[in-house]
Amino acid sequence: MGVPEANDAAQQTGGPEEPIDPGTSRPAWPWWVGGGVVVIAIVVATAMLLRSDGDEPATTSASSASTTSSLTTTTTRPASSTADGSGSPTSGASASTTTAANPLPGAATTPVSTPVPVMSAAPLRDVRVAAQSGYDRVVFEFEGDRLPGYAVAYVDGPVTADPSGEPVDLGGAEALSVRMEPASGVVQTADEARESYTGPDRAAGPPGGVVTEVVRTGDFEAVANWVVATRTRAPFRITTLTGPPRLVIDVRNG
C-alpha cells in the first residue's frame, strides 16, 4: 500500500520525512479507496434510516397512549367523586355505571331520626336548596357548634301548621317532613328575642328538580318544623356537617 510503505521506510532510516512542496500535489488515492468510503457511507445511512423508521412511530404511539390515559383519568375521576362523595379512584366504566344507575348510594324512603340532645335550642340561621348531579340538596344551617335532634320522614297529607293546625298548601305531590328539636329561628335571651333566621318561609326548588319547594310549617316551643315538597316519593339520604353545623338532605332526582 503506497502511503503506509513510505511511512515505514522513514521510520527504518531514522531520517525525517521530506516536507511537501506547496507547489506539488499529493499522490491521488487509488480508485477503490474512494469507492469503499462511498459504500460505507451508504450502508451507515441506510442503517440509520431503518432504525429511525422503526423507533419514531413507537415513541409517538407511546406518547399518544400516555396522553389518552391521562385524559381518561381526568375525565372519569370527578364522576366517581360526585357519585359516592369519597373521591376514591374508580375506573371509567365503573364510574359511569355507578353514576347512571345510582347517583345517591345509601338513599331510601324509610324514616331517619336521632335522639333529642339535652341542650339549649340550636339557632337556625339559613335554609338552602340547590341542584346537584343526580339529586337535589336541602341544607339547614345552624349557629354555634352543635346540631339538634332530627326526624325526617315522608308523611301523608294534609300537612298542617304547628301550632295552629291549619292546612298548608304544598307545591308538590309528596311531603318530606323535617322536625328539628331543640331548634328555633328565634334566639331567646333574658333581655330580648332575636331572629336568627330571617329568610323566607318558602324556598323554591331548583328548576326541573325533584324538590319543588321547602316550606316552614312551625316554630314553636323549641321545635322547628319544615316540609320538603317533592314531585315523587324519591329516596333521600341524610348527612351532617360541621363548621358550621348543618343538616343535609339529598333527594334523588330521577
Q: What is the pLDDT of residue 95?
A: 33
Name the percent of the chain lying above pLDDT 90.
Answer: 56
> Does residue 97 surpass a pLDDT of 50?
no
Q: What is the pLDDT of residue 34?
A: 52
Mean local confidence (pLDDT), 37-52: 47
Mean local confidence (pLDDT), 115-122: 95
Q: What is the pLDDT of residue 6?
A: 40
Q: What are phi and psi of 169, to 5 degrees?
A: -75, 135
**In this predicted model, what pLDDT tens digit does every residue of 173-228 receive, in sequence order?**
999 999 999 999 999 888 888 999 999 999 999 999 999 999 999 999 999 999 99
Cα 124 to Cα 120: distance, rounded to the nearest angstrom: 12
Beta carbons of 16 and 10 less than 8 angstroms apart: yes
Q: Does domain 112-252 have CATH number 2.60.40.10?
A: no
Three-state SS at 88: coil
Mean local confidence (pLDDT), 35-63: 41
pTM for this model (two decimals): 0.61
Mean local confidence (pLDDT), 140-160: 96
